Structure 1
Amino acid sequence: MEKLKQLWFDFLESDRNDTWWKRKKELCSKRDVEIIQIKGKGNIFRRTKYDHKEEVHYLMHLSFLMKQGKHFYLEEKVSPYRFLLDGDTISKHQEIPAQYLTDKKLGTIEPDTKRTGERFDYNRMAAVRYAERWWNSYNPEFRQFDVDCTNYISQCLYAGGAPMRGAPNRNQGWWYQGDNWSFSWAVAHSLRWYLSGSTQGLKGREMNSPEELTLGDVICYDFEGDGRWDHTTIVVAKDAYGMPLVNAHTDNSRHRYWSYEDSTAWTENIQYKYFKIGE
């Protein structure tokens, strides 16, 4: 809708949205990235009327054409917004809070006591192709979660050949079966610890820096730095300086810079874990 797009761009230029846009520009400046063009498409998904007013919820699909040196790439992001409509007057226009990125269910993982050393051939490009195919939609073969980031990453890893194991105990292994799944499949905190502790099949080797990651690897995020891991992404590309660009669900994102400094969930206490998969 053209009216929604114009509304969002007006909002972008207003003082009310200083946090996200300020962080976005600062991050681009630090990376020597120029935003060449911004396109937006809005779709209303909920309208609620009360007291002669109407609260409107919509999704804004943003596309950023980015230039870094001689390198061009397209970053995409889908975020929910809302505003209050009173006659022709719009007020309380804001992004729906970023706590939807987090999952409060921690889920415990029992130690891996089975045989060690089993390897699998990780098809990184198959994982990336899946991540690109489903970054802004949902495979009907799997359940869609309100907080969908880790479920999406698990599907990408599975598409890359990662073997499931541990069913039907939700505290063990990494698996999805019918209408049931392990904590590690769908909960960010649990997948982070599973990747660290697994000794067979799907496992992750912790790296010291994001530059060491390659396509198909995984980054975990603890936004508050409080020991509760909130979010998971998959590396799908590299920028001109060799830094990861990631895809994610919940706030559906494609080719987003790995650090998430332009996220409203970001804090100065953020912690990251970088996992090399399949090696």
Structure 2
Amino acid sequence: MKQFTRKMYICAAAGIIFAATLFFPLPGAKAEPDKHEIEAELNEMFKARAEALIHPYPESINKYYLPEKASQMALQHEHLREEYVNKWAEKRALKLTSSESSIRIIRQSIVEDKARISLVQSHKVGYVYINKVMQEQVFGVGTRHFLTLKKSEGRWKIAREWYLDPLDENPAKIADGPEGIAPAVRAKSEPTDGQKYKRKRAVHYANKYAGAAWGAGNKHHYNKKYLDYTGKGGDCTNFASQVIGDPEEGGGLNMAGGWRYFQNSGGTQTWVQTDAFSNYLTRSGYGTLIAKGDYHHIVTPSQKYPGGAISQLQAGDLIGYILRHNDTDHFSVVVGFDDYGYPLVNSHTADRYRVPFDLGWDRDTKYQLFHIKD
């Protein structure tokens, strides 16, 4: 729990209240009319927004929004998102090459010219390294959207929207690398199981249960054995605990001390809460804190780590993210490295599948690099 970004902290309470109202039908809601029309228009909207990530021309998506304040705020978020992702790519000497979206409508309630929609988006993004001869690399994100649509000039348009965005950050605050390029920190290799920690199984678990993110398995569903803590502050730590501790499919570390999950009541504080889990990893002896610091600190070569501290991570290790007050706010699972050697992570809330580890974060973020002992 506790992994909302700065913007998420500001809008989370209002957003959750707004989102909750969408699960209840509007008074006098129609059963079927307009549903197919709305689905077609939503598919068009989300396809256009995905394409705008590669070709960020404002006019390409402006037509899907109303001139009202709430609608224009939602539009501004999309433009800032486009700017952030493209500036991040520039800082890492990358070029975005493809962006594809699919949506699944969960609920919709329609009355006359107004509709409330909840849907899940799976988004696939491709990139290549500039001046490097290698194939396109791909990652996936998954988001849950709550929208109010209004019909205007014969088209359904976005009146307001709320979602937890894994690519939401300030374009002006992207961290610089030591050489202005993404560091190639580790060659690709297959994880292997140790005596205590089944690292290969842990990575497989992280990929299978990465939720709504494009590329995830299990038909984009979480593991139903575990409660979903998304509505209780976030599910990232619950997911990280599952990855390293699930006895059947995950890493199989023994549940011990206060780090446990009970089928009837859920996880203990150490299992689901970021700071408690962070402290437990080192206190229990299950993990070693390789390094802690901002982006520049962990990627810069040193006498101790000639490839930078981040080069010591292996698939199946964990990264904690600190936003403020030295408290851990998020956890992700290292699931491998792209063809260039850049670390890729999976996480919940929002869902990520093989995403570059620092995408969606800024220069003020501090990273905790945890190696899980085999």
- TM-score over 0.5 for the pair: yes
Take 2:79 and 2:195, find their aligned partners in 1: how far apart are those partners? 46
4+ runs of 1 displaced by more than 6 Å? none
Q: Which runs of 5+ in 1 are unaligned?
A: 102-118, 167-171
Residue of structure 2 aligned with 1:138, choices 222, 243, 263? 222
Matched, 1:272 2:367: yes
User: Which residue is equivalent to 1:4?
Assistant: 42
Matches within 5 A, 1:65-80: 65-68=126-129, 69=132, 70-80=134-144
TM superposition shift of 1:245: 0.3
TM superposition shift of 1:228: 2.7
Aligned residue pairs, count: 248
Q: Which amino acid aligns with 1:214?
A: Q
Higher mean C-alpha deviation, range 232-241 or range 31-40? 31-40
User: Which residue is equivalent to 1:160?
Assistant: 251
Take 1:2 and 1:196, find their aligned partners in 2: how far apart are those partners? 50
- Write 1 or 2 for the structure with the bigger share of strand: 1
User: Which residue is equivalent to 1:92?
Assistant: 159
Q: Which amino acid aligns with 1:131?
A: A
TM superposition shift of 1:149: 1.0
TM superposition shift of 1:73: 2.6
Q: Is the 8 A contact 2:290 2:312 kept in 1?
A: no
SS at match of 1:240: coil
TM superposition shift of 1:213: 0.6
Matched, 1:206 2:290: yes
User: Which residue is equivalent to 2:203?
Assistant: 128
SS at match of 2:229: coil
Q: Which amino acid aligns with 1:80?
A: R
User: Which residue is equivalent to 1:235?
Assistant: 334
TM superposition shift of 1:162: 1.2
TM superposition shift of 1:40: 0.8
TM superposition shift of 1:155: 1.0
**TM-score by structure 2 length?**
0.60
SS at match of 1:22: helix
Matched, 1:177 2:262: yes
Take 1:221 and 1:21, find their aligned partners in 2: how far apart are those partners? 23
Matches within 5 A, 1:18-37: 18-37=79-98
Q: Is the 8 A contact 2:127 2:138 kept in 1?
A: yes
Take 2:158 and 2:100, find their aligned partners in 1: how far apart are those partners? 23
Change (3 A) 1:258 1:203: same
Q: Which amino acid aligns with 1:144?
A: D
Change (3 A) 1:19 1:94: farther
SS at match of 1:232: strand
Take 2:363 and 2:118, find their aligned partners in 1: how far apart are those partners? 30
Change (3 A) 1:57 1:141: closer
Q: Deviations for 1:20-43, whole angstroms, at most 9, x for unmatched residues?
A: 221111122222323222111112
SS at match of 2:327: coil
C-alpha RMSD of the superposition? 2.6
Take 1:29 and 1:240, find their aligned partners in 2: how far apart are those partners? 18
Higher Cα Rg, which structure: 2
- Write 1 or 2 for the structure with the bigger share of helix: 2
Q: Which runs of 5+ in 2 are unaligned?
A: 1-38, 53-59, 62-74, 169-193, 212-220, 292-297, 299-308
TM superposition shift of 1:84: 2.4
Change (3 A) 1:120 1:176: farther
Change (3 A) 1:83 1:182: closer
Take 1:192 and 1:61, find their aligned partners in 2: how far apart are those partners? 29
SS at match of 1:47: strand
Q: Deviations for 1:87-125, whole angstroms, at most 9, x for unmatched residues?
A: 3341335451459x9xxxxxxxxxxxxxxxxx9622211
SS at match of 1:191: helix
Matches within 5 A, 1:232-271: 232-260=331-359, 263=360, 266-271=361-366
**TM-score by structure 1 length?**
0.79
TM superposition shift of 1:236: 0.6
% identical aligned pairs: 21
TM superposition shift of 1:198: 2.2
Q: Which amino acid aligns with 1:83?
A: L
Change (3 A) 1:84 1:157: same
User: Which residue is equivalent to 1:218?
Assistant: 318
Change (3 A) 1:62 1:97: closer
Q: Deviations for 1:126-172, whole angstroms, at most 9, x for unmatched residues?
A: 11011111112211222222221111111110211211112xxxxx3
